[in-house]
Amino acid sequence: MTPRPRKHLELEPDTVERDLVKLVLTVVELLRQLMERQALRRFDVGDLTEEQEERIGLTLMLLEDRMAELRDRYGLRPEDLNLDLGPLGPLLPRE
């Protein structure tokens, strides 16, 4: 007889906060990478003023630094934020 699949989540009270932070940081990292690609495309097209380029570059650097601080605080590595989507592959491109 085959075992029935579990229909409930197994949550560990000790890791709930870390797991929630991991999920939120994963979404933020996905958005950060999309914004970075869009900014690079706009740089290449020459669609931005020098001031806009500087502001976008600074903002993306600050966001990346803040993400690193939060990962460190919760003991996460960048690769921990890359969810495995099974047959679709990883959520984030591997760098």
Indicate the angle between helix axes 50-73 and 16-45, nearest 10 degrees.
160
Q: What is the CA radius of gyration of the chain?
A: 18
Q: Identify which has the larger pLDDT, 56 or 85.
A: 56
Region 22-44: mean pLDDT is: 91
For residue 93, give both structure tokens: 């491109």
**pTM of the predicted model over 0.95:** no
- Whether 48 contacts 42, CB under 8 Å: yes
Distance CA 93, CA 89 (A): 9
pLDDT tops 90 at residue 44 = yes
Q: Identify which has the larger pLDDT, 3 or 14.
A: 14
pLDDT tops 90 at residue 8 = no
Distance CA 80, CA 55 (A): 29
Average pLDDT, the chain: 84
What's residue 82's pLDDT?
Answer: 82
